[in-house]
Chains A and B, each alone.
Chain A
Amino acid sequence: MDFLLGGVLATTWKDLIMYGVGGILIYLAIKKKLEPALLLPMGFGAILVNLPFSGAVTQFMEGIGPVEGILDWLFSLGIESAEAMPLLLFIGIGAMIDFGPLLSNPRLILFGAAAQWGIFATISVATLFGFSLSDAASIGIIGAADGPTSILVSQVFKSAYIGPIAIAAYSYMALVPIIQPFAIRLVTTKKERMIRMQYNPKAVSKKAKIIFPIVVTIVAGYVAPASVSLVGLLMFGNLIRESTVLDSLSETAQTTLVNLITLLLGITIASTMKAEQFVRLETVMIMFLGLLAFVFDSIGGVLFAKFLNLFSKNKINPMIGAAGISAFPMSARVIQKMGQEADPQNHLLMHAVGANVAGQIASVIAGGVILGLVPAML
C-alpha cells in the first residue's frame, strides 16, 4: 500500500509554499480581478507542477525512462523554441492598437523612450544584488511593463528566473493604478499635476496609418536588428488592422489568437514554477526589483517631461511622461484620473493615450536593444 502514500510522503515544505503561491494567484485573479487571464492559469499551474510525481511535467519512470509532461512539452514548443507564444501574441496586440493619437501628436513618442529608463536603472540595482548581467537584464526588462517582452528576453538569456519574472511583470502591470500614483507624487507638485494641455487633434490619413507600421519596422530593423521579431510582429498586427481589407483577420488576431495564446501562455509559464526553482531568496529579490522597475519607469518619464518643459512654450503636464510605460491602457487612465483629482476640469486622457501607445513601441524596441547589447558584453 506504500504507493498510495508515496505522494504524501514525497511532499516537501517547498511544495506546500507553492500551493500557497498558487492559491494567492488564483485569489488575486478571481477576487481582485488582477490580470485574471494570466494569473489564474499561472496559479493553477503552480499547484499542478508541484504535486509529487506530477504527470504534467517530465518525470523519470523506473523501467521506462523519461516521460514528457504536457507543460514541459508546451514550454519547449511554445516558448523555448523561437519564443513563439509571446511573439505571436504581439500580432494580436498590434491589431488592438490605434496609433492615431500618437500620429496626431508626434512629440508624445519621446515619452515612450524616456519611460524605459526604469529598465536600465533596475538592471544596475540588480547587479548590486549579485545577479549576473544576463539575469539582471532579464529582471530589468520587467520595467518594459509588457509581459510577453519580459518572457521573451528572459527566455533568450536562458534565465533561471523566468517564472518569478513573468509573475512580477503581470502582477505589477495589474497594480499600475497603485504604483504609478505613488511614484508620480514623489516627483511632482500639485501645481504641476494641474497643468492643462490643449488637445488639437490633426486628421491622420489612412495612407499614413498604413505606411507607419511598415516604416517603423524598417527603421527599428536597421538600428536595432534584434528588435525585428518583436517590433515586426507588433506592426504586422497593426498593418492588418489599418489595411481595412483584412477585417476578419484583424478581428481574429484581436480576439481568438490573443485568447488562445493567453490561455496557454499562463499555464505554460507555470511549468517553470517548480518549488526547487521558485522557493528561494532570489524570487523575493525579483519581486522587489520588478516593483522598483515600475517606479523608476514612472519617475524617468516624469523627469523627462519636466526637462522638456524647460525649453517648451506650451507646458506639458509632467504626468504624461509617466504614461510612456507600456501598460496600456491602465497607465493612461491613471494619468487622466490624477489630472482630474488635481483639477476637475483637466482632461489629459488623449495625451496620455498617445504617450501610452508610444510606450508600447518603445518597450519592444528596448527589449530588442537589450537582446542586441547584452550578449556582446558577456
Chain B
Amino acid sequence: MNPVFQQSLTLMLKGMVGIFTVIILIYFVIVLLNQISKKEKPKNDQ
C-alpha cells in the first residue's frame, strides 16, 4: 500500500480522536456551565 496513504489513515485516526477528545471535554464544560446557570436562576428569582 502507498506509504503516504497509510500515513493519512493514521492521521485520520489520530485526528478524529484528538478532535473528539477536545469536543467531549467542551461538552462537559457546557454541562457544568448549565448547572451554574440553573443554580443562578433560583437566586435571580428570589
Contact = CB atoms under 8 A, between A and B. Distances in A.
Contacts of B10: 377
A349 interface: no
B20 A216 contact: no
A127 B27 contact: no
Interface residues of A, number: 49
Interface string A110-139: 101100110111011011100011001100
Contacts of A110: 20, 23-24, 27
B18 A219 contact: no
Contacts of B40: 205, 207
B11 A205 contact: no
A109 B7 contact: no
Interface in A346-378: 358, 361-362, 365-366, 369-370, 372-374, 377
A197 interface: no
B27 to A, nearest CB: 5
Contacts of B26: 109, 215-216, 219-220, 361
Contacts, number: 126
Contact of A123 (B12, B18, B21, B36): B12
Interface in B1-33: 2, 4-5, 7-12, 14-16, 18-27, 29-31, 33
A98 B27 CA distance: 16
Interface of A is mostly: helix
Contact of B37 (A128, A202, A220): A202
A308 to B, nearest CB: 13
B23 A109 contact: yes
A208 interface: yes
B34 A215 contact: no
21 contacts: A103-B34, A107-B27, A116-B15, A117-B12, A120-B11, A123-B11, A127-B2, A127-B7, A128-B2, A128-B5, A219-B25, A219-B26, A220-B26, A224-B18, A361-B23, A365-B23, A369-B19, A370-B11, A372-B18, A373-B15, A377-B11
Interface of B: 2, 4-5, 7-12, 14-16, 18-27, 29-31, 33-34, 36-38, 40-41
